[in-house]
Structure 1
Amino acid sequence: MSTLSYEQAEQLIHLFADLYLRKDLTGFLNLFADDIVFEFPYAQEPNPKRLEGKAELKVYLEKLGKVLEITSFTSPVIHTAADAPVFFAQFEGSGKNLVTGKPYEQSYISVAEVQDGKIVRYQDYWNPLA
């Protein structure tokens, strides 16, 4: 199993944040493998806990964009696994709930597995009460 350098992880998470904030859905989706598994372990009904493949991720992101606008992310704290192509990123996001108009403040811890430069698995740990 190959490893992932800190620089590779840093580049990926910065691209992730930049493309998401610019609402470049095509570019954002290109960060992921076609068979991406995207998980939300803390998600509550009616939100999904798991998405499989870019098509499901795209539909989810399109729906999310109608109810939530994230306008900034803090600079992430990044850790890479010693013996696997995995990195962990801790960061915060700010924005607005488009339905209620209330501010959105969220803390994230993300775990990403990378193969051939693409994210193949992404676990998004966030506070469902935010």
Structure 2
Amino acid sequence: MNAEETVDQYWQAYRRHDLDGVLAHLADDVVVEFPTSQEPSRGKDSIRTVWAKLFSTIIPDISPEVVTTVAQGDTVACEFVETGTLVIPAEAAAAGIEPGGRPYTMSMVTFFHLNGDGLIDRLRSYWDTGNFAGQLGISIGVISAMQAEAHATA
């Protein structure tokens, strides 16, 4: 299977919220970088814990629609539109943030790098965090704090 086919299968599993299917395409030492995290996530086990929460409670209806894929050797770039409903937990009320679902639509780009075994060993995503926060009606600091909390409990 070539790099583009691997990434396509990754997206298919992601759309189905098939966590085992997603993880099957990741190297054990995968590094995942998002603009809302100060530090990258490292390792498949860390990703499993965080993305299990993502699919089940944080954004249970998350859905990417790939618009463009460009592959060159062991690198694949995908432009996609992600839709979903970010669920603000009840505990957020203590910080003055109204809990509940916040729908969003966001254009994103992710770069994938595959190792010699054909597994994704680096995934780096980019999106307009200001636009995302604006759609949700919260500050980007809240999004970063939620992401840090998901990692801390992982």
Q: Same fold (TM over 0.5)?
A: yes
**Structure 2 match to 1:122:** 123
Shift of 1:48: 5.4
TM-score, with structure 2 as normaliser: 0.67
What is the CA–CA distance in structure 2 between the aligned matches of 1:37 and 1:56, rounded to whole Å? Answer: 10
Does 2:107 align with 1:107?
Answer: yes
What is the CA–CA distance in structure 2 between the aligned matches of 1:69 and 1:38, rounded to whole Å? Answer: 20
Q: Would the alpha carbon gap of residues 10 and 80 (structure 1) be closer, same or farther in structure 2, given more than 3 Å must change?
A: closer
Does 2:15 align with 1:34?
Answer: no
% of aligned pairs identical? 26
Q: Would the alpha carbon gap of residues 104 and 12 (structure 1) be closer, same or farther in structure 2, given more than 3 Å must change?
A: farther
Does 2:7 align with 1:13?
Answer: yes
Shift of 1:22: 1.4
Q: Give, as a single letter, the amino acid of the residue that structure 1 aligns with 2:74.
A: P
Bigger fraction of residues in helix: 2
| Secondary structure in 1 matching 2:7 | helix
Q: Deviations over 1:7-52 (max 9, x none)?
A: 8343223222221121211111111011111111x11xxx453111
What is the CA–CA distance in structure 1 between the aligned matches of 2:3 and 2:67, rounded to whole Å? Answer: 11
**Structure 2 match to 1:80:** 71
Query: What's the Cα RMSD here?
Result: 2.0
Q: Deviations over 1:65-90 (max 9, x none)?
A: 31113443223311223xx4111111
Instruction: Select the residue among 58, 73, 97 that pairs with 2:86.
Output: 97
Bigger RCO of structures 1 and 2 (CA < 8 A, at least 6 apart): 1
What is the CA–CA distance in structure 1 between the aligned matches of 2:49 and 2:59, rounded to whole Å? Answer: 14
Matches within 5 A, 1:49-88: 49-65=39-55, 66-81=57-72, 84-88=73-77
TM-score, with structure 1 as normaliser: 0.78
Q: Which runs of 5+ in 1 are unaligned?
A: 1-6
| Secondary structure in 2 matching 1:120 | strand
Bigger fraction of residues in strand: 1
